[in-house]
Structure 1
Amino acid sequence: MSTGGSTTAVARRAARGDVVRAGARAGFVARGVLYLLIGVLAVRIGLTGTGEQADKGGALAQVAGTPFGAVILWALGIGLVGMALWRLSEALFGGAGPKGDKPAKRAVSAARFVFYAVSSFFVLSFAAGNRDSGAGATDRQSHDITGRLLDLPAGQWLVGAAAVGFLGAGLWMGGRAVMRKYRKRLTWATMSAHQRRFMDVTGIAGGVGRGLVFAAIGFFGLKAAIEFDPDEAKGMDDAIRSFAQTPAGPWLLVAVAAGLVLFGVFSFGQAKWRDV
């Protein structure tokens, strides 16, 4: 075997080894904590109209105010690094299961790697003392990035393409949750009936709630592109609050928020039963 082939084989074994799998499970736990906190903050907003921020920064601010908050923040950031590295390994070498090597699945894993790499940087920056990534940061960043893109040649098309990506991702997340696509990624055959019901309830409701938030971000991004107005773009907090402006009022916001809480709980279940 050539040196190049041997190196690739070693890298492939490492990517599918215990360390990477442990990192993936830690990442699911970290993701679960963040979504659980975001969902709780969003429920408070829907019920009381509080000025708290229902985004990652708001969740991190809540963690920072607890005993051992600094330690927990670093643990969350490192957990998300583990998730990013696992997704990178899937992009490079394929994921678990018979169809894990399909190009489309590897491309999705690459996109998820970028998402979790950015998320881990965001959390670690906050843990290191950069409070610019705190509460409300997603809204500010959404406005700033949209404004910069709109200033570029073909900026409206760039913003529109990104918005369509978010909108499509949200619909894809919600649709896959309703169709229970997550089951094939779990050790379903070895799970008890109670465990299966737990994952179905949290997986469907959580996936739909998360998908609606991503779709809302995409919708307002598309509106910003069409109207050439960066102020129309919304981050997670503003997107969640927008549900209260629908005819269903605050109760739709609370329902979506409950979905985010359940998605956090679902992530804890994935940490235990996901086939990685």
Structure 2
Amino acid sequence: MNSTIRHAAHSARQRTPKWIDTYARVGIAAKGLVYLLIGLLAAMAVFGEGGKVGDQQNAFQWILQQPFGQILLGIVILGLLGYVVWRMIMAFKDPDGLGTDAKAMFKRAGFFFSGLVYLFFAFSAARMLIPELGSGSGSGGEGRQLLIAKVLEQPFGQILLGIFAAIVIGKGIFQLYRGITGKFKGHVDEQHMNHKEHEVYMKTGRMGYIARGVVFAILGYFLVQAAMQSDSSEAGGTGEALNFLSMSGGPYLLAAVALGLICYGIFMFVKSKYRYIPRVQL
């Protein structure tokens, strides 16, 4: 980013409503916390420290079991809702100026569906906190399988699910590409990072994106199996993907991916501080 662009970015940030800037950063950090806990709990399980290989639900449950857990989980829920708001702003307001061509609209659609996913995560956490919203013991896996079952019931449902599986696998490959090449630096103010922060940002970003790529590829494989067998129970989530790694590659492979997810969480913490939040016209 040259000096002219840096000055323009700084000027635009100054005009961004404070609540949007703050809420977006809190949301990015909340996403990082969820990934960090998923990776940490999986790593603890590998090394016999009492953790559990699981998904977002397990991370929320762990938070709830801590001192002041209800307050902490409430803060995480608010943070995740902040991330949802930011993703929707990116999808509909296009603050990064992606445009309206086919490639841009595909990315913006991705922001929208990402927002829906994290809205589901926030609601799942809220169900644990507020019993009136539904059974707190219900798993995210049940909701996922119900949704996939509904898709399979539709005309050409297997084909539709197969297309979605291909998209998920493609996302996994793209995540691997970004991790290997380091092409994840856009939209952050690297100039104001000190040397240590930049080093942490790059190293954790590489490891984090590679780990996410592996997980997404496995999730896509699960969806392929669900589509081929017309069986929603074949579709697994993050926890099932990590267990698949453990069974197929052993504890060392699981530990490596768990470490990568921890790194992704740390990466998101750094990104939450230095992400360029462009001007948004509401």
TM-score category by the smaller chain? 0.7 to 0.9
Tell me the equivalent position of 1:264. Answer: 265
What displacement does 1:269 show? 0.6
Distance, in Å, in 1 between the alignment partners of 2:165 and 2:111 is: 20
Distance, in Å, in 2 between the alignment partners of 1:161 and 1:83 is: 27
Consecutive unaligned residues of structure 2, counting only runs of 5 or more, are 1-12, 278-282
Consecutive unaligned residues of structure 1, counting only runs of 5 or more, are 1-12
What displacement does 1:132 show? 4.5
Distance, in Å, in 2 between the alignment partners of 1:51 and 1:228 is: 33
What displacement does 1:238 show? 0.8
AA matched with 1:74: G
What displacement does 1:270 show? 0.9
1:121 lines up with 2:123 in the alignment: yes
Count of residue correspondences: 259
Distance, in Å, in 2 between the alignment partners of 1:230 and 1:191 is: 46
Distance, in Å, in 1 between the alignment partners of 2:225 and 2:153 is: 16
In 1, are the aligned partners of 2:41 and 2:51 still within 8 Å (CA)? no
Tell me the equivalent position of 2:170. Answer: 168
Distance, in Å, in 1 between the alignment partners of 2:266 and 2:177 is: 19
AA matched with 2:67: P
- The normalised TM-score by structure 1 is 0.85
In 2, are the aligned partners of 1:56 and 1:134 still within 8 Å (CA)? no
In 2, are the aligned partners of 1:95 and 1:106 still within 8 Å (CA)? no
Match of residue 230, structure 2, among 228, 231, 247: 228
The SS at the match of 2:227 is: helix
Tell me the equivalent position of 1:46. Answer: 46
Distance, in Å, in 1 between the alignment partners of 2:134 and 2:260 is: 28
The SS at the match of 2:185 is: helix
> What is the Cα-based RMSD across aligned positions, in Å?
2.4
In 1, are the aligned partners of 2:219 and 2:237 still within 8 Å (CA)? yes
AA matched with 1:111: F
Q: Higher RCO, 1 or 2 (CA under 8 Å, sep at least 6)? A: 2
Tell me the equivalent position of 1:8. Answer: none
Indicate the percent of aligned positions where both proteins have the same amino acid.
29
Query: Where do residues 1-276 of structure 1 align in structure 2 (5 Å cutoff)?
Result: 16-48=16-48, 52-96=52-96, 99-103=97-101, 104=104, 105-129=107-131, 132=135, 137-246=139-248, 248-276=249-277
- The normalised TM-score by structure 2 is 0.83
| Pair 254,168 (structure 1): closer, same or farther in 2 beyond 3 Å | same
| Pair 126,171 (structure 1): closer, same or farther in 2 beyond 3 Å | farther
